[in-house]
Amino acid sequence: MQVAVELLVSDILHVAKDGAKKTQIMYQANLSYKLLSKYLMEIVEACLIRFDHEERLYVITSKGRQFLEHYREYSRRHRHMEKQLNDIRDKRRILEELCSNE
């Protein structure tokens, strides 16, 4: 999965934490019907979410909850690393400016 796909999956799972209808997921995750249908099928096949036929809702599974926990940690670390990389780039730019003749 690419990072953008992981974010999309995370958004869908977050909406379905307490159970949600397909349209609810579509609007709250800000997805088109076509895109939601594609990824919802994949997420169901991966056992991250299941359809409760009695309630007619999509509900996150324990595996889906694990995914969310790991994704949150990944996302937190990724943001931290991005900040560090930006700081390093800024320092390098300053060093380059100090070494220039201008």
Where in the sequence is the domain holding 19, given as residue range(s)?
3-99
**Exposure letters 92-102 (e unless 16+ CB within 10 A, then b):** eeeeeeeeeee
Per residue in 8-47, pLDDT (tens digit) is: 999 999 999 999 999 999 999 999 999 999 999 999 999 9
Supply the CATH number for residue 93's domain: 1.10.10.10
Per residue in 68-87, pLDDT (tens digit) is: 999 999 999 999 999 999 99
Cα–Cα dist 31/65, whole Å = 21
pLDDT at 94 over 90: yes
Cα–Cα dist 38/61, whole Å = 19
State the pLDDT at residue 36.
Answer: 93
pLDDT at 98 over 70: yes
- Rg over alpha carbons for the chain, rounded to the nearest Å, is 20
Domain count, the chain: 1
Tokens coding 1: 């999965």
Q: Angle 10-11-12 (CA atoms, 0-180°, nearest 5)?
A: 90
State the pLDDT at residue 17.
Answer: 93
